[in-house]
C-alpha cells in the first residue's frame, strides 16, 4: 500500500472530508495536525506543497493537492491505482 500523508487542521471541513474518504477506502495514512503546530511544521508543509491551505495530501511523496483534487481522482477512477493494490472499498 502507498505511503499516504495528510496535513490537516481539526476545524477544517475539507480536511474531515478528505480523511473520511481515505478511511472509507481503508487507507492507512499519517496525519499531520497543523491545528496548534509550530511555525516550522507549517512552513515544511508550505514548502513541500507550494500551498498554504489544508488539507494537503501526499501519496508516495507525490503531491495530490487538497480534498477537491483527491475527490476528482476518486471520481475519475484513478485514486485506487495511486493508493496501491490492497484498497478495498468499504462503502
Residue 89 has pLDDT above 70, yes or no: no
In this structure, what C-alpha cell is assigned to residue 20?
A: 473520511
CA trace torsion 49, 54, 59, 61 (10° rounding): 30
pLDDT tens for residues 47-68? Answer: 999 999 999 999 999 999 999 9
Q: What does CATH list as the number for 4-83?
A: 3.40.30.10
pLDDT tens for residues 13-51? Answer: 999 999 999 999 999 999 999 999 999 999 999 999 999
What CA–CA distance (Å, rounded) separates 20 from 45? 21
Crossing angle, helix 67-76 and helix 13-24, to 10 degrees? 30
pTM here? 0.90
Residue 90 has pLDDT above 90, yes or no: no
Amino acid at each position: 500500500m502507498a505511503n499516504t500523508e495528510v496535513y490537516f487542521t481539526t476545524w477544517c471541513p475539507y480536511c474531515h472530508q478528505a480523511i473520511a474518504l481515505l478511511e472509507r477506502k481503508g487507507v492507512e495514512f499519517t496525519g499531520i495536525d497543523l491545528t496548534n503546530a509550530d511555525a516550522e511544521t507549517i512552513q515544511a508543509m508550505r514548502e513541500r506543497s507550494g500551498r498554504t491551505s489544508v488539507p494537503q495530501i501526499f501519496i508516495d511523496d507525490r503531491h495530490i493537492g487538497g480534498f477537491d483534487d483527491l475527490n476528482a481522482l476518486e471520481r475519475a477512477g484513478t485514486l485506487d491505482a495511486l493508493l496501491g493494490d490492497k484498497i478495498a472499498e468499504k462503502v
